[in-house]
Structure formats: C-alpha cells, structure tokens
Structure 1
C-alpha cells in the first residue's frame, strides 16, 4: 500500500483509537517500522498528528494531552531549553515556576543553584527541588489537579498575590502565530496571568511543538514577556514582532534554515 493510501487510514485509526503506535501500524500495513515512522513524521509536520513516544496522537484542540504523554514529548528539546533558561537564573533569586513538563525540566536544572526561593503551584516541581537543600520551596496551595500535580483556583491566586518575584518561569500548552500564549484550563490561565503581574521579569519555556497545537484560553502575549526560550527559529513575522516588543528569543540548537 502506498503512502497516499496509508495516510488517510492512519488518521482514521487515530480518530477511532485516540492513539496509533509504530508497531501496530507496521503490522496493520505490512511495512517496516522505519516506513511508519516516516509516515507519522510527515503527518506531524502537516499538523494532522502529534508525535509521542512509540507513535502519535491526534493534535489537541480543547483538551490537553495526558501528562505522561507530555512528559516524554520532545524530551531532549525541553532539556536543552531548560539548561539555557537556568543559565539566566541567578543565585539568590526569588522565582515562580508554574505547571508543566517544561518548567519541571527547568527545576531539574536548578538543583545546584544556591540561595533560591521558589514558589510553585506544581507539586512535581516541589518534589524535584527537594534535593536542593539550598532552595526554599513554597507551595501555593489550591485545588489539586490530579492529572499532573497542579494546584489551581482562587486560593492559588491569593497566595501568588502576596509575592513580588524577581522572575517567573512559565510554560504554555500552545503558542499562536500572533504570539499569544494559550492553555486549556481557565483556572490555570488565571494563575499564570497573576504570576506575570507579580513578577519583575517573565521567561517562557516552550518547545517548537507548541506552534503546531491549539488551545482555547488566552494567557498573555509574548509582548508581555522578557525572554522566550525555544528549540527552533520562529516565523519571520513573529520574530519582527518580538523585536518591536523588546522580547528576546533564545533558540537552542538553532538551525537557520528551519522555521516553526
């Protein structure tokens, strides 16, 4: 069966099952694993699927990918972004880390920083930073979101308003082409907006897959942020906007010929 016929069948299987695996599709079509990986890469680049470990899922629209899938999605890119971000965080800083696997990657890069005060609504971040005895950790409290260890709601917002952070490091579920940060949970959006308002500087950590996704709730614009850490160059129009907004874009492993 040619690629032309496989692609619609792969998409139909993904719609029925929610996820497809490389091994399952190779058996279904009687082709090699390498052939299926190429098919999934082509469909992901076209925005029709989103690659995850061992296969692919339908791109998100109004619901987020499961936490375990997000944790392993673009793991290497997230690690590179986190290292670049951590290099910009000075010892002795007060900072906020919000919900997300990218901010968790930043937390892992802060294990050797000294004299930090980290406020977070992410229980996973708190657990990671417990290994750094030179880091004061404050959990905001709030309603526990069991799917990813996030804390949200009015109690969370009330806690955040008691601080003025040197720096906030935030993630997002999607990034629109006009530079708007998007998310799925309106309660989480409210927390993120409050964090930005209570911070002297704000960093966004988001890998290039966020440009291929959509989410219904708006957090803020890149115009309101100071530095955007990502793994691929952004479109020229957005780069020009960021220059006008004085928002720095820091690209890890930059490939000049590629664009998000």
Structure 2
C-alpha cells in the first residue's frame, strides 16, 4: 500500500497509484504574522496600518489583509478601519472617570437625543454616562423613563413631572448598573417610543459592546422593547471592538455621536442599518 508520505518519484513507480502531496506550510507567512504580533506587543505600536505593513514586508496589501484576517480568526488582533490593533480591552473606567471623559461630546449627544423626545413619550434609558446626559437634557418634562442606571435615576430624582420606572435586579456597583432576570421581566412588560442605548463600543456586525454578559442581555431586550432605537456614543466608541460581549442591533436603528466620528466607521455603520445618523458639535 502506498504511504501517505511517499515521494512523487516513488509513487510513479507504483502502477495506478497516485502521489499524495501534502499542502506546504507557508513559513514566510507564519514569520510575517509573528512579526505583526511583535509590532503590536505591549512595547510596540498601539496599532498598525495595512499600507504600512505592506511596505515593511514588501508584499501586497491583499496579502496583509489575509494575514490580519488569519490573526483575527485566532483572536490575536482586532481589525480596525485600514489596519489592526492588539486584542486587549481598554481598562474599564469608574463612573466618575467616565463622566469627565469626552464630557463635552456627551453633553451635546444628550441634548440631541432629548430633542427628539416628545412630551408624553415613554423612553428607555440604558445605564451609562452618555445616557445620564440624555436624562439631564430631558429634565423636568412630562416624560416616562424606564432605566437600569443609577446615574439616570439620580439625574431625574428632583423632577416632579418626570415619571421614572426603576428596573430591579442585581447592582454592579463599579458602573452603577442594574441587571438580571427581574430587570428583564419588568422590561418585557413595557413598550417604549424610544430606547437610548449606550455601550463601550459600537461595531457594524457585532452591535453594541458590554463588559458583562448580563449587561449585554438587558441591552438586547431594551432594543426589542422600543419602536425606535438610538445608540448614543461619542466618537471614541466607534473604532473600538476589543470587548467580549455584544448585543446585536435591529435591522434599522439610529446613531447619535459627535463630529469627531471617523467617516469610514460611520459609512460601515450606515451599511449595517444606521438609517438615521446625527452628529453633534461638542460645546
């Protein structure tokens, strides 16, 4: 019987026996992909571009794109628009830190979101520092708000004309978020005019990012329980996809962000169903 690792010459001597050729391993490709990982190591660059890698290795951009796809499939990198970054989620910020990060952009996003809410509407406000600014902009209006965010609750607490339904469940103190089966049961009993969803990242295929599985579940349900969904996210969230938990976006949805948003990122999100994109000018 012909052995699998017989040489073509030996195979030719065996009447009617076809040579078996093992696929060659692309050693040059392995080396190149290893160098890409080294370039993105903690002591290296934060990100790389397709064009820059092609020039460095003397290969085509198509070859580099295949390399990056291979590394992404293995979970080693995150593809970005025109390049790649190492797969490591950025450190989670506390709520006071989040409040002061991109604060001007978040205030302008909050005002734009509140501007589309009409008196008498029932709205869902996700937990987060950007949705907190939506609550602040809604203010003392005859609007009903369903929320799982402590910051949203505290913003609306002084207002007598605003009705607030607080979702019950388990509190995650670090980001002041309530989630769990009880919160999901309560959500299943309402249907809102708008849902304003925050997130750590927004991706055209993956959806909206969360830090925990429980948070991703409640975001998904919030989007199901509203006639119109708007993601409220500053521009830094549109090119960060290094998170483990994601909530799929509906077929059609809206995005409210700031004018610093990457044009390629906005184009990809528009193709992914963002039919209404509002960009704001930070104060």
5+ unaligned residues in a row in structure 1: which ranges? 1-10, 13-45, 49-58, 255-260
Equivalent residue, structure 2, for 1:15 = none
**2:203 is equivalent to residue 176 of structure 1:** yes
Q: 1:150 aligns with which of 161, 177, 202?
A: 177
Secondary structure at the counterpart of residue 148 of structure 1: coil
Change (3 A) 1:77 1:246: closer
TM-score under structure 2 length normalisation? 0.64
Equivalent residue, structure 2, for 1:164 = 191
Cα deviation, residue 241, structure 1: 5.2
Once residues 109 and 225 of structure 1 are traced to their aligned partners in structure 2, the CA distance between those partners, rounded to angstroms, is 25
**2:127 is equivalent to residue 102 of structure 1:** no
Secondary structure at the counterpart of residue 166 of structure 1: strand
1:193-224 CA-to-partner distances (Å, cap 9, x unmatched) read 01111111111100011124321111123x54
Change (3 A) 1:135 1:176: same
Equivalent residue, structure 2, for 1:192 = 219
5+ unaligned residues in a row in structure 2: which ranges? 1-41, 44-82
Once residues 101 and 203 of structure 2 are traced to their aligned partners in structure 1, the CA distance between those partners, rounded to angstroms, is 19
How many residues were matched structurally? 201
Equivalent residue, structure 1, for 2:106 = 78
Once residues 227 and 268 of structure 2 are traced to their aligned partners in structure 1, the CA distance between those partners, rounded to angstroms, is 24
Equivalent residue, structure 2, for 1:64 = 92
Cα deviation, residue 100, structure 1: 0.6
Secondary structure at the counterpart of residue 237 of structure 2: helix
Please, which moves more after superposition, 77-86 or 225-234? 225-234
Equivalent residue, structure 2, for 1:25 = none
Change (3 A) 1:143 1:241: closer
1:138-171 CA-to-partner distances (Å, cap 9, x unmatched) read 1011001111321111111111001111111110
Write out the 4+ residue segments of structure 1 that deviate beyond 6 Å after TM superposition.
none
Cα deviation, residue 112, structure 1: 3.5
- What is the RMSD of the two structures over their aligned residues, measured on CA atoms? 2.8
Once residues 169 and 66 of structure 1 are traced to their aligned partners in structure 2, the CA distance between those partners, rounded to angstroms, is 21
Change (3 A) 1:174 1:243: closer
